[in-house]
Structure 1
Amino acid sequence: MIVLGLTGSIGMGKSTVAQMFRDEGVPVFDADACVHQLQGPGGKLVSAIEAAFPGTTGPKGVDRVALGQAVLGNDAAMRRLEGIVHPAVQAERLAFLATHARSPLVVIDVPLLFETGGDKSVDKVLVVSAEPAVQEARVLARAGMNSPKFQAIIARQLPDADKRARADHVIATDIPLAETREKVRALITCMRDSEGR
């Protein structure tokens, strides 16, 4: 099995590319979706997060806006939150890998792959990238997003140029979708061929 780490800064099109891998039959572990589940109604992490950050949860699980206000720009609070979330996500990822142990290729979709040292636990890294103006336009079009919040998120992420320099593969997402999909298909073929499958 090849474990391909998929990453890219906010607004770079990572979710779109992850879906392209799924469309080609490649199992994808989505770390963000895992976090949403763990923090959703009845999620495993809700009580621990409420204990650490009182008033940030309710009947629908974690109130992401309230939690964001509690941790963004506060390094100690962010580290405390990561200490709760990261071990739980790691356990879910290991379960995913065990479930798909016979697959020739799996994708681990992690926004902060380099920032958390996750690149050391995958075989290859794919970075998705777009021009800064495209990235910013995509992010600011999201509900509840504004420029200061975008800048705070970017400040916590390794710069795109550094991610691209450390990647084994880079796929552009500021080109027509069909072209991005062809690049994904070519990468899948290349990786499977390298394993003789």
Structure 2
Amino acid sequence: MKRPFVLGLTGSIGMGKSAVAEMFAARGVPVFDADAAVHQLQGPGGALLAAIERAFPGTTGAGGVDRAALGAAVFGDRDALARLEVIVHPAVAVMREEFLAAHAAAPLVVFDIPLLYEKGGGQGLDAVAVVSAPADTQRERVLARPGMTPERFAQILALQVPDAAKRARADYVIDTGTSLAETETQVAALIERLVAG
């Protein structure tokens, strides 16, 4: 049975990955958003709340995971982060498989995986597209976010595989250091190429 071509979409913070994922979706390509899956699993009534509360007491409540409390519990602590990932990643993988099954007739699906290279989430992908922009553009975008500081940005970057390494490992690079229209043209061309097979 023919299955969809599975494209992994990734990119460092501030590179425009969310905007590119929306461009794929706007062109009718089913997009699985790993971050949204995590939010669902950790939101009110989420399937992972009990396990997270057991591992990190006091980090959940009626509204789901208290992201600030959980963040404080794991940020900068590799062992704590690893314990959280053991809870979260298998559940996200199940959701990803269910998504793929639901869209089995589509010629192309996109898995939007922010930390694809950092966390080894590349299983089952046919190719990877990295969203990239010049470092100064990235910095400007990230520092415009509410509550972001140069120090926090530096901490986040230190945890991510460098953009140049991501580009080198990618099958395709989508440049977002251009106009939105030019980025959309790149996305359209990539869809055409992958669907044509």
CA distance in 2, matches of 1:84, 1:144: 28
Read off the aligned partner of 1:146 and give its amino acid letter: T
Q: Which residue of 2 aligns with 1:185?
A: 188
Q: Which residue number in structure 1 is paired with residue 137 of structure 2?
A: 134
1:73–1:152 CA contact under 8 A, matched in 2: no
Give the SS at the match of 2:119: coil
Report the equivalent of 2:165: 162
Percentage of identical aligned residues: 62
For 1:88, the aligned partner's letter is A
2:126 to 123, 127, 147: 123
Deviations 1:37-77 (A, max 9, x none): 11111111112111111121122111111211111111001
- TM-score of the superposed pair, with normalisation by structure 1: 0.95
Q: Deviations over 1:121-153 (max 9, x none)?
A: 200000000111211221222223222222222
Structure 2: distance between partners of 1:187 and 1:46: 38
Q: Give the secondary-structure state (helix, strand or coil) at the position aligned to 1:115.
A: helix
Q: How far apart are the structure 2 equivalents of 1:168 and 1:147?
A: 31
Structure 1 Cα separation of the partners of residues 136 and 46 of structure 2 = 36
Are 1:46 and 2:49 counterparts? yes
SS at match of 1:125: strand
Structure 1 stretch 146-155 or stretch 179-188: which is displaced more?
A: 146-155
Give the equivalent residue in structure 2 for 1:152: 155
Partner of 1:88: 91
1:164 partner letter: R
1:100 maps to 2:107: no
Extract unaligned runs of 5+ from structure 2. none
Give the partner amino acid of 1:131: P
Match of 2:59 in 1: 56
Structure 1: 4+ residue segments shifted above 3 A: none
Q: Match for 2:126: what amino acid?
A: D
TM-score, normalised by the number of residues in structure 2: 0.95
- Given candidates 6, 16, 19, the residue that maps to 2:19 is 16
Aligned residues: 194
Which range moves more in the overlay, 21-30 or 118-127? Answer: 118-127
The residue aligned with 1:109 is 112
Q: Quick check: 1:29 aligned with 2:32?
A: yes
Rounded Cα–Cα distance in structure 1 between residues aligned with 2:35 and 2:112: 8
- Tell me how far apart the structure 2 counterparts of residues 147 and 53 of structure 1 sit (CA, whole Å): 29
**Separation (CA, whole Å) in 2 of partners of 1:32 and 1:44:** 15
Q: Distance in 1 between matches of 2:143 and 2:63?
A: 25
Amino acid at match of 1:57: T
